[in-house]
Structure formats: C-alpha cells, structure tokens
C-alpha cells in the first residue's frame, strides 16, 4: 500500500473547499410571508342553523269529564325536527279538588310522548278564583315530515283554560 504525503492531501482539500466557496449558486426568489386564505366551514349540526319555533293555544278547553285540553300544532314540513323545549301557561279553577293528572308533548295519534313538570305560576289574572300554572321544560322528541305535535294538559274536577304553548328546537 502506498502512502500519500499529507501535504498532497492538504493541497487537494484546500483546492476543493475554495472552488466550492467560489461557486455561483442561483439565488432563490424571496418567499413572501402571506397568511393562508381561511376556509369557511358550516357546522351542519348547529342548532341555530334551522330554528323551529311554534306558538299555539286553546282558549276554551273541553268541560270537566270530557277529556283533557289538547293543542294541535301545525304539521312538520321538514325531514326531521327535534323539539328541545316546551313552555306553556294555563289556568285551573280553584275547586278545592282540582288536580292535574297529565302534561305531555306527543305526536298526534302516535306513540311517544314526553311528560313535563308543571309548577304554580300564581293567581290567575284572567279568571276569577283560579290559579295560573306554568311549564318550562327541556324535552327531546323527534318528529318527521307530516307528523303533528300536540300538547295535552288533563285535570280532574276542573277544566284547564287559556292553554298556550311554545315549542322550540331545530330541524335538519
């Protein structure tokens, strides 16, 4: 094996490094600092995108013994509607024996119903010797196109009067 003098190695090394240092390299164009264009996104599940809200009422309900007081809302016109809240008020005569036995949101002539709690709202301003009741409840009941929401209040020994309700939720 032949030995290469160190001076030759050093000379070759110096020649290579100086030629690399003097080499002409093309300059790259400066890259501007530009913010990316934002992508607009629509949340398909946003409840405020397709709001559903209906008000309905019944001033005069059936007399005692002839059935509960029922409000029928307009039929659903979209694919699927989710009712998430119900708010109602009604009056009930103070007969001493009057008792509310049902308050529910349902689908006309069909299965599921959601029972909702009732609270005393105060003394009625509309009827003499009556108490006002309120309903302010979250509920989750889905309706499909063509189904009709109903709200029912039933009482024993007294007739609910002035039943008015607002249903709210959203549709898709």
Is there a domain that residue 138 lies in? yes
Instruction: Tell me the CA end-to-end span of the chain in Å, nearest whole number.
Output: 85
Give the domain CATH number at 81.
Answer: 2.60.120
Structure tokens at 126: 């509309």
Q: What is the pLDDT along the chain (172 residues), one digit of tens a residue?
A: 566 566 555 555 555 555 555 555 556 666 677 777 888 777 766 766 789 999 999 888 888 888 899 999 999 998 899 999 999 999 888 776 678 899 999 998 888 899 999 999 877 776 677 888 999 999 999 999 999 999 999 988 888 889 999 999 998 8
Q: Which residue has the tokens 């009930």?
A: 92
Is there a domain that residue 29 lies in? no
Structure tokens at 38: 């934002």
- Residue 6's contacts (CB-CB under 8 Å, 6 or more residues apart) are none
Is there a domain that residue 74 lies in? yes
Q: How many domains does the chain have?
A: 1
Is there a domain that residue 147 lies in? yes
Task: Give the residue numbers spanning the domain of 106.
Answer: 51-171
Is there a domain that residue 112 lies in? yes
Is there a domain that residue 80 lies in? yes
Is there a domain that residue 45 lies in? no
């Amino acid at each position: 094996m032949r030995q290469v003098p160190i001076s030759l190695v050093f000379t070759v090394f110096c020649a290579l490094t100086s030629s690399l240092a003097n080499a002409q390299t093309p300059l790259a164009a400066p890259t501007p600092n530009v913010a990316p264009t934002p992508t607009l996104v629509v949340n398909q599940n946003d409840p405020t995108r397709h709001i559903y809200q209906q008000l309905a009422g019944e001033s005069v309900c059936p007399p005692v013994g002839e059935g509960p007081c029922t409000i029928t809302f307009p039929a659903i016109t979209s694919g699927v509607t989710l009712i998430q809240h119900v708010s109602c008020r009604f009056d009930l005569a103070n007969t001493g024996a009057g008792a509310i036995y049902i308050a529910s949101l349902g689908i006309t002539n069909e299965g599921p119903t959601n029972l909702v709690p009732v609270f005393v709202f105060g003394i009625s301003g509309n009827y003499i010797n009556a108490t006002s009741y309120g309903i302010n409840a979250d509920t989750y009941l889905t309706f499909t196109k063509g189904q009709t929401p109903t709200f029912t209040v039933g009482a024993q020994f007294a007739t609910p009067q002035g039943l008015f309700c607002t249903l709210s939720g959203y549709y898709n």
